[in-house]
Amino acid sequence: MRGIMPHRILIVDDEESIRYSFSEFLTQEGYVVDVAESFEQAKNFLEENTYDALFLDILLGQDSGIDILKASKELNPNCPVIMITGSPGIDTAAESVRLSAFDYLTKPLVQNEIIRHAQRAVQYKNALDENERYQKRLRAIFEGVQEGILVFNSDLEIIDANYSAMQLLNVDSDILGKKIDELTKESGSEIIWQLKDLLQSRVEGEFYKIDFESSPNNKLQLGININPIQSYSKEGNDLVLVMRDESQPFTKIEV
């Protein structure tokens, strides 16, 4: 399990004394440490391992630390990168910020500062990983339920839709990014017209059952509920619309 494994840190610097110092300090703290002195070595490590933090010198002889920062963001996007520099130039600092470097360390390096930065970076990486796992769990639930779910922004533009919703509306993922007005013009579907009326009247919190004629000899009854997604900003709230084919039996999920 990941929780009992030591955290892994990569040090990239062309000065042997710095690589040695970092390795000693961080190994004593219980981290697994790899060291590299060039772009090629660093890239090989990044391709073979997942790191919880990366300490990276901006200047690496003939190589540029910025190139390694770019490679790290592609290969291990959640890994926080701490840039090491003697005196950061404005252009280099701006490029590092643009590429989302986590922090800076300025030479000469102090042991306590190195350890503190490592701890902060690892905590940040843990938070990113946990959030990613949480988002994947939510997505699995979102796509797995039999109810159709549509998410609208305050302009009634569809920003998310699950598979069940697309099946019920007989549409595909092209609906994402479109406003409900556009869909009514494109499809002429009675269901979409009814949804538009409910959304524009902002009927929230109530449960509705609406009958539709899905084909000449087939009627469909949808249960529909609309609720706001509360936002801490002052901008308008998103809306989530849940619809269910009432002809389908409820599925009880045992927890």
Chain position carrying tokens 């219980």 = 30
Confidence check: pLDDT of 1 > 50: no
DSSP H or E stretch at residue 187: helix 180-187
The domain ranges of the chain are 2-140, 145-245
What average pLDDT does the segment 84-99 reach?
64
In 65-147, which residue ranges form alpha helices assigned H by DSSP?
Answer: 65-75, 90-98, 111-144
Assign domain 145-245 to its CATH superfamily: PAS domain (3.30.450.20)
Confidence check: pLDDT of 108 > 50: yes
Q: What pLDDT is stored for residue 2 in this prediction?
A: 47
CB 140 within 8 A of CB 155: no
Report the DSSP beta bridge partners of residue 93.
Answer: none
Confidence class of residue 64 from pLDDT cuts 50, 70 and 90?
A: confident
Q: What pLDDT is stored for residue 230 in this prediction?
A: 73
Amino acid at 59: L
Amino acid at 159: I
What average pLDDT does the segment 90-115 reach?
77
Q: What is the pLDDT of residues 143-187, one digit of tens each?
A: 989 899 999 998 899 999 999 999 988 888 899 999 998 888 887
CB 60 within 8 A of CB 40: no
C-alpha dihedral sign at 20, 23, 26, 27: negative
Q: What pLDDT is stored for residue 85 in this prediction?
A: 80
Q: What is the pLDDT of residues 114-126, one digit of tens each?
A: 999 999 999 999 9
What average pLDDT does the segment 13-20 reach?
93
Strands 238-245 and 218-229 turn out to be antiparallel
How far is the first Cα of the chain from the last one, in angstroms, to the nearest whole number? Answer: 23
Reported residue count of the chain is: 255
DSSP H or E stretch at residue 208: strand 207-215
* CATH class, 2-140 region: alpha beta
